[in-house]
Amino acid sequence: MPHKLTAAVVGATLAFWAYTQTLLPGVDLGDTGGFQAAVLWPEVSARQAYPLYYALARPFVAAARPANPARALNLVSAIWAAVAVGLLVAVGASVTRSIVAGIGAGLLLAFSYTFWTQAIIAEVYSLHLALIALCLLLLHGYAARPTTARLLLAASAYAGAFGNHFGMILLLVPFALFVALVTPRPWTLVRPRLVGALAAIVILGALQYAPNLMAVWGSLQGAEAWTDRVAAFWFDTTKQDWRESMVLGVDASERLERLAMWGFDARQQFGVVGLALAVAGLWHLWRAARPLAWLVLTAYVINTVFTVTYNVGDSHVFFLPGHFMTALCAGAGVALLAGPLRRSDARRGTRPAYARVGAGIGLALVFAYAGWRGWATWPLADRHDDRRGEQVVTQLTAGLSDRDALLVSRMDWQLENVLLYTARYRRDDLAWVRLGDVMLHWPFLVDDAHRLGRDVVLTAEAASDVLAAYGPSLPIVEDPAAAGVPLPDAAARIPRGVLYVLCILSPPPGYTLDPAALDETIAALTGGRMPSRAPAAYELIAGVTGELPQIDRSSARPFTMRFAVLDEALTLHLDGWLPFETFRRAGFGHLLRGRERVMTVERGVSLVWFGRDGRPSPPRYAAGLFAPQPRYRLPAATLQLASRVPRAPVSLPFRGGRDWREP
């Protein structure tokens, strides 16, 4: 036991060190920005459906008392990720009776790409895997000594884990099957007192959502019946409005492609060697601990089938429980490899010396492989200097303050979450509203803002919606202060004779890639020597400005390519699977020079070039989330024009500001 604890602590410490060195320093797009904006905010809504996550994170973030709580919440994820690794070491060592097996499992999980990228941002998945590991550890304890107290303890951990992520429901069948297989008299599991105790545990676990229910209850005081309020709570908490179209929402014609995505993702996490170890380890568990083998196998299959058929834009994160089971099996594979190191065996007697030497060499190679996986993944997962989300919103809000401007937004939900965080914690001088909250009384809002001497500033989508609803009666003009340099112009300004890399990925939903602007950009880079392009989901064009490109590759699948231009050795890793994945927190790819990441590749257009001193430029993006955001204005000087707008509320359809949990 002391050795297992020591191994778990060492594994967790190593993982935590790696995560803190690569931790995202601030706010990020998407759910991450929403979590960072909500963690210290006093208001609770039903859509903040992670009560356990917030309950555990809020005291830590509050105690840190940061001026900017984003980094503190990112650090919370790193802590829980390290706990997950330590618990996996303990689980692996316990079920295989081999400490090296536990360490091998922990290292392979710790250095897997997706888990690492989730461990360094504010997200629920590191805590999700820590809770899965805790449940497995408690279930193993129950299998060793099947008592009612141990069963209720494991059930309590499982029920409590629903307060962090509803994905725990996918483990109900595997866990129940394991309990039935290890219980000496399985029929005793349905005795009334035990069923009643389990029901009480379920109710106590559900009480975590009481504040969310109360928030809905208070907001629907005019509801005719309490059932209306409960239905509204369930609708919001389970995100029923969009999950109904996503669970089993993949068309049959796309399932083979989704399976290809699963295979790519599995190799990305563990490599062929890691997957081979996992297969060998599952066979070893089947022979030595069959109930656990059933648990691992059913959990993996159920989770994979769910994820492959789950029509969501970040499906790769839903593979994570399967990655956990894969790492556990790989640890069992390490135990199988380490078997000859045991000097004696009750059935086989003393092991031959050559077998022990071979096993020792094999173990050394396995741990060298795990270390190499960490070394190779580090620059891809490293986000310690990534402030792109902040920079997009900083550019959007530059020069605005509540003294002279009101910002009205309608943007992609991921960007809007960063704006929400910015308004709450970084820019208390920023006056901002969502268009969806004010559209029906838009003329009055404009009139009031102008009377206070404020310009009304709109994002591009907000301006488009206002024009569609109200026509040209309000003179909306482009704000030159926020206008970024178009990508073709930026490309034309790059000096001749320098290295550039241009990546073109299918743009995300809601964004359009202008073929003419793209051709103009390529022409500017190549001096008019246009390559014979074959447009595809992934394109790479690289070379020396003013010359025909030296690298021109198109592919329907993600790839990794090493190439050299002007004696610079570069590597392009493409990580996202298009078109299924619409957003990835760590980007859709990475351009490396040695171990230095010079550009994170995103959907749309990504461009970087190197100066004559060898330093890379800041990446330029177009047709995607990180492209410069234009602004439009209704200047206060047009107050008299606002008075001519009809005062009756309009009934034209519009899309309002998106909820922070909307996909």
CA contacts within 13 A on the Cβ side of 199 = 7
196-231 burial, b at 16+ Cβ within 10 Å, e below that, comes to: ebbeebeeebeebbeebbebbbeeeeeeeeeeebee
472, 587: one domain = no
Q: What is the pLDDT at residue 647?
A: 37
19 belongs to a structural domain: yes
461 belongs to a structural domain: yes
130, 222: one domain = yes
In this model, does residue 648 exceed pLDDT 90?
no
In this model, does residue 228 exceed pLDDT 70?
no
Q: What is the pLDDT at residue 655?
A: 32
511, 462: one domain = no
508, 446: one domain = no
- Among 359, 381, 403, identify where a domain stops: 381
Report the distance separating Cα 155 and Cα 309, nearest Å: 28
310, 368: one domain = yes
Chain segment 398-435, per-residue pLDDT in tens: 999 999 999 999 999 899 999 999 999 999 899 999 99
Q: What is the pLDDT at residue 481?
A: 76
In this model, does residue 223 exceed pLDDT 60?
no
In this model, does residue 479 exceed pLDDT 60?
yes
657 belongs to a structural domain: no
188, 262: one domain = yes
CB 33 within 8 A of CB 127: no
Angle formed at CA 159 by CA 45 and CA 662, multiple of 5 degrees? 30
Report the distance separating Cα 470 and Cα 645, nearest Å: 8
CB 170 within 8 A of CB 121: no
In this model, does residue 43 exceed pLDDT 90?
no
Report the distance separating Cα 88 and Cα 114, nearest Å: 17
Parent domain of 550: 487-622
In this model, does residue 344 exceed pLDDT 60?
no
Chain segment 237-266, per-residue pLDDT in tens: 665 555 555 565 677 777 789 899 999 999
Task: Kindly tell me the sign of the dihedral angle through the C-alpha atoms of 465, 471, 477, 483.
Answer: positive
77 belongs to a structural domain: yes
For residue 226, name the pLDDT band (cuts at 50, 70, 90).
Answer: low
Q: How many domains does the chain have?
A: 3
Q: What is the mean pLDDT of residues 107-135?
A: 97
In this model, does residue 595 exceed pLDDT 70?
yes
Q: What is the pLDDT at residue 296?
A: 97
Q: How far is CA 385 from CA 260, 325, 412, 572, 600, in A?
A: 33, 32, 24, 19, 12
- Report for 204-208, 308-312, 469-473, 499-503: range of highest mean pLDDT: 499-503
Q: What is the pLDDT at residue 638?
A: 55
656 belongs to a structural domain: no
In this model, does residue 27 exceed pLDDT 60?
yes
133, 246: one domain = yes
Q: What is the mean pLDDT of residues 368-396?
A: 94
In this model, does residue 119 exceed pLDDT 90?
yes
Report which of 87, 90, 102, 118 is spatially closest to residue 19, judged by C-alpha positions.
Answer: 118
Q: What is the pLDDT at residue 213?
A: 73
CA contacts within 13 A on the Cβ side of 185 = 6
Q: What is the pLDDT at residue 470?
A: 85
Least confident of 338-347, 374-383, 619-628: 338-347
DSSP 617: P
What pairing do the DSSP bridges indicate for beta strands 596-601 and 477-478? unpaired
341, 372: one domain = yes
In this model, does residue 312 exceed pLDDT 50?
yes
99, 161: one domain = yes
400, 522: one domain = no
The share of the chain scoring above pLDDT 90, in percent, equals: 70
In this model, does residue 219 exceed pLDDT 80?
no
In this model, does residue 371 exceed pLDDT 90?
yes
Q: What is the mean pLDDT of residues 138-155?
A: 96
Q: How buried is residue 409: exposed, middle or buried, by Cβ count under 10 Å (0-12/13-18/19+)?
A: buried
**What are the beta bridge partners of residue 459?**
631
Q: How far is CA 225 from CA 46, 217, 222, 228, 231, in A?
A: 18, 11, 9, 5, 10
661 belongs to a structural domain: no
Q: What is the pLDDT at residue 653?
A: 31
Q: What is the pLDDT at residue 314?
A: 86
397, 521: one domain = no
Q: What is the mean pLDDT of residues 289-299?
A: 96
For residue 641, name the pLDDT band (cuts at 50, 70, 90).
Answer: very low
651 belongs to a structural domain: no
540 belongs to a structural domain: yes
168, 230: one domain = yes
Chain segment 63-101, per-residue pLDDT in tens: 987 778 999 999 999 999 999 999 999 999 999 999 999
Chain segment 560-584, per-residue pLDDT in tens: 999 999 989 999 999 999 988 888 9
Q: What is the pLDDT at residue 159?
A: 96
* HEC readout, 381-436: HCCCCCCHHHHHHHHHHCCCCCCCEEEEECCCHHHHHHHHHHHHHHCCCCCEEEHH
Angle formed at CA 91 by CA 86 and CA 92, multiple of 5 degrees? 95
